[in-house]
Copies of this chain bind each other. A is one copy, B any other.
Amino acid sequence: MYKSALFIFVAIIATSVVYSQEPVYIGPNIVPFPQVLNTGSSVLAVNPNTFSITTDSSSQILGINIKRYQKLFFPFGMVKSNAPALNLVVITKSDSEDLFLGIDESYSIVANNKQLTINANTVWGAVRALETFSQLIQWNPDQMSYTIPWVPMTISDFPRFPWRGFMIDTGRHFLPVQFILHIIDTIAYQKFNILHWHIVDAQSFPVVSSTYTNLTQGAFNPIAIYSHADIQEVIAYAKSYGIRVVPEFDIPGHSAAWGVGYPQLIASCPSYAYNINNMLLNIAQPYTYQFIGNLFAEMSSLFIDQYFHTGGDEVVLDCWGEDPTITAWMKKNNFNLVQAEEYFENQLTTILTNLNRTKMVWNDPYQNGVNMTKDTLVQVWDSASLTQEIVDAGYKAIVSFAYYLDKQVPNPEGKTHYEWQDTWQDFYGADPLDNITTSTANVLGGEACIWGEQVNQVSWDVRVYPRALAIGERLWSNEAVTDIQTALVRFTNNSCHIAQRGVNSGPLYPNYCYLPENIPSGQRPIMTLTPIEIASILKKK
């Protein structure tokens, strides 16, 4: 019944029949694959009861991660073992917990029967190393034991791109805070370093504002909202993994939900109201800019990252052309529709500059012909050719068009597979620099996007994983790491590994993944931060 798919399987040796297809990858199932990996052929027995991680670093965040990974190293708990005690030493050159675009995330690992050592320049490099190290420890269900195979091993690793984002959309479906923390766990495993939080959209406004308290009238439900404390917990939890949180307040389009509590914010264009996504902010009144300025001031006190995304996508300009108060204003100012958009975008830029934030937008304003300041970061959801234009024009860009996890056919060329899960190969085959021939340094990286129309907390993991492994690796690993066959084996094994940690990530080919029924599937098994830890982490930008 099943046609033309690729199957890898372990050799079955029988008396009269030999099925001789060998697995095509033998080695540690590290995802993303490190820049330099040297392996031996010995196996180190690991005793979870006596295993320790030590550091001289005074970093609180590194301390949190040592506690976290002490648990993550041993997902099946403290089984009996006669193996000798091992100590993993973590050395960092700096104890600084500053986190910003381009921070050094490099690290090295030495693992042999004499020493287990992580070396990094920063705390964040050490956190990346701990994740890699966790993937070296293998659970052997038949022996109920942990081992580190492939020793002696050395790893030297660093990311290819500084911007490795993951976009979630809580405007189309509310995701509970606890689930967002689970998402952060999950994307940290692939070394993503940005959570792009598309927090509101046309369908709902789930963010509590103390300045504009009616905004949450636009939430799906009075209990489906994010408090300031919720947002701070998300940011602190993300930062504990070295993940920056970039908020997106998508305007002037996709803003209908703002109008539930504050109707005067919304332009009047009844003939476009058949699609709620078409509704636009009324850009012809000072009230709107005052509102945005106050709201963004409040929000930037929570969202501590340098970057602040204001959307700008899919603005149905003709809606403005239908509102007589807006057309009157345009006429007075001698604006056409694009100039009206440009005026709005310039106001946003001023607001954000005054808040000491760098503006980020989708590619639409550029496409419309809006002049933007050169420090604007542009997220491209259109095409490689537009990316080329944008970086040639001197803007920094990140690419997303090939990384839409919700699409039936995510391949920009429309290529399809037999099984839907095999779309991981499309993500894997899409390099951010594909067809970019000049100004390549302006491409900062990329972002996986899971738009929220058809996904909530019960379906999120499976819609995203294991396919997102391919995007995580594409953004971190060397551009030469592209072989589908070896990736298939690593990804399926790594998918089992993260499933054992509570991510609902399934397989890519027939195999067996040890998943006792008492593992709380889909539950975040690890740890939360205490309120004191959250407050402390947030003190340090």
- Which residues of A are interface residues toward B (Cβ below 8 A)? 1-3, 5, 7, 9, 12, 14-21, 141-142, 171-174, 176, 178-179, 201, 203-204, 220-224, 256, 259-260, 263-264, 266, 268, 270, 273-277, 279, 313-314, 362, 381, 406-409, 416-423, 449, 451-463, 499, 504-515, 517, 521-523
- A423 CB contact (under 8 Å) in B256, B260, B408: B408
- A263 CB contact (under 8 Å) in B15, B204, B458, B499: B15
| Cα separation A2 to B179 with both chains bound (whole Å) | 23
From A201, A276, A362, A408, residue with most partner B Cβ within 10 Å: A408
| Cα separation A275 to B3 with both chains bound (whole Å) | 11
Inter-chain contact B21/A273, CB cutoff 8 Å:
yes
Inter-chain contact A504/B517, CB cutoff 8 Å:
no
Inter-chain contact B14/A263, CB cutoff 8 Å:
yes
Inter-chain contact A16/B268, CB cutoff 8 Å:
yes
The 8 A-B residue pairs with the shortest CB-CB distance in the complex, in nearest-first order = A459-B506, A462-B462, A220-B512, A14-B263, A203-B510, A408-B420, A172-B510, A421-B454
Closest to A218 in B: B12
- A511 CB contact (under 8 Å) in B173, B314, B461, B513: B173
Which residues of B have CB within 8 Å of A223? Answer: 141
Q: How far is the CB of A130 from chain B (nearest CB, A)?
A: 24
Q: How far is the CB of A138 from chain B (nearest CB, A)?
A: 15
Inter-chain contact B12/A260, CB cutoff 8 Å:
yes
Q: How far is the CB of A245 from chain B (nearest CB, A)?
A: 19
From A15, A21, A511, residue with most partner B Cβ within 10 Å: A511
Inter-chain contact A21/B276, CB cutoff 8 Å:
yes
| Cα separation A263 to B17 with both chains bound (whole Å) | 6
Which residues of B have CB within 8 Å of A406? Answer: 419-420
Closest to A221 in B: B512
Inter-chain contact B515/A457, CB cutoff 8 Å:
yes
Closest to A222 in B: B142
